[in-house]
Amino acid sequence: MKIEQYHLHKEHPEKLQFQIYDLESYLKESGVHAQKPHSHSFYQIIWIYNQGGVHYVDFDAFKVENQTVLFVSKNQIHYFDKEASHEGVIIHFNESFLSQSDIDIFLKYNVFNNISRPFQYLNQNTIELATTYHDLIKDEFSKHNAFGYQEVIRYLLKSLLIVFERAHTDVEKISEAHNSQYKLMFLRFKELIEMHYQEHYSVKDYARVLNMSSKTLSVLTKEISNKTPSVLISERLILEAERLLAFTSLQVNEIAYRLGFEDASYFIKYFKRHLKKSPKVYREMRL
């Protein structure tokens, strides 16, 4: 089985790196593809108005209630329930559409990086506020080539994401996290892992890029996540190995090569050391 990866204006970088759709119409046109495990090279917000069915993200199924919002990160594997009929909104945007300010990094690695719970159920106050921003985005999106429309959409999208983040996180904790230099450096470290995990950067390599010592990086990750840098690096690599084993028919040696291992036997030992089972056994358990 091949896991398709879909792109947004990959061949046309000059186009607006953003798209908004009516979810019901989108599923009618793309349902066959959307109901198969796939990934995107962009970010996706799926706001489902009505209750029914489940949505699959990586290895888990999440129940869809009224007013459920799912945040699907780039490269994350997901798919729609074949039996579900959804009304709502779906938003796509590329990473380049957000700038690289501290708040953008914060949003990418909080809103879109909650692997255990990549969704939230909205309360009435959040629904009303989010609907306002959605309507403004739709209205601005219709004004193709109007002066500054790309910037307006960018800031409206960012505002919408902040509304969603506030809805499920204590506001004071958000402020503390955003104002913490340790937290921001931690998020930059996570971003670097996402960029380089297949290149097998060492802790020392990451620390050098971040312009800090390996010891400082270790103190930082321990304080924020209670994990060492090497554990965070390994977790990202193992996650990708799990995805490829669970959702593709690639041979183990092909997966090893794709993940930057020159020796498949070393990959097998690496995988077994972290998950206490071989890639073959892991794949059989997922079938």
Residue 174 pLDDT greater than 50, yes or no: no
Q: Which CATH architecture best describes the domain 180-287? A: Orthogonal Bundle (1.10)
Give every CB contact of residue 216 below 8 A, 6+ residues apart in sequence: 207
**Residue range 109-131: average pLDDT?**
86
Which runs of consecutive H residues, i.e. helices, occur in 145-180? 149-168, 171-179
SS3 at position 67? coil
Strands 38-40 and 4-6: parallel
Give every CB contact of residue 44 below 8 A, 6+ residues apart in sequence: 70, 71, 72, 90, 91, 92
**Residue range 92-112: average pLDDT?**
79
**What one-character DSSP code corresponds to residue 85?**
-
Which residue's structure tokens are 């329930």?
81
CATH of domain 4-170: 2.60.120
Give Dmax (Cα) for the chain: 57
Return the closest-CA partner of residue 193 out of 91, 276, 113: 113
Q: How far is CA 281 from the centre of its chain?
A: 27
Determine the pLDDT at residue 178. 45
**Please, what is the average pLDDT of the chain?**
89
**Edge-to-edge, what's the strand order for the sheet holding 54-57?**
4-6, 38-40, 78-80, 54-57, 60-63
235-271 tens-digit pLDDT: 999 999 999 999 999 999 999 999 999 999 999 999 9
Residue 145 pLDDT greater than 70, yes or no: yes
**Edge-to-edge, what's the strand order for the sheet holding 18-22?**
18-22, 88-93, 43-48, 68-72, 119-121
Q: Tell me whether domains 4-170 and 180-287 share a fold.
A: no
**Alpha-carbon gap, residue 248 to 197, rounded angstroms:** 20
Which residue's structure tokens are 């129940």?
63
**Residue range 213-220: average pLDDT?**
94
Least confident of 54-68, 170-184, 196-210: 170-184
Find the helix or strand (DSSP H, E) in which 19 lies: strand 18-22
Which runs of consecutive H residues, i.e. helices, occur in 2-148? 23-34, 102-110, 124-141
**Residue scoring higher pLDDT (43 or 165):** 43
23-46 tens-digit pLDDT: 999 998 887 889 999 999 999 999
| Token digits of residue 221 | 């990750």
* 182 close to 223: Cβ distance less than 8 angstroms: yes
**Alpha-carbon gap, residue 70 to 241, rounded angstroms:** 23
Q: Which residue ranges make up each domain of the chain?
A: 4-170, 180-287
Determine the pLDDT at residue 43. 93
Neighbour tally for 22: CB within 10 Å = 13
Return the closest-CA partner of residue 280 out of 260, 252, 250: 252
Give every CB contact of residue 186 below 8 A, 6+ residues apart in sequence: 220, 221, 224, 225
| Token digits of residue 29 | 């046109």
Phi, psi of 235 (to 5 degrees): -60, -40
* 26 close to 271: Cβ distance less than 8 angstroms: no
Q: Is the pTM of this model over 0.75?
A: yes
Determine the pLDDT at residue 4. 86
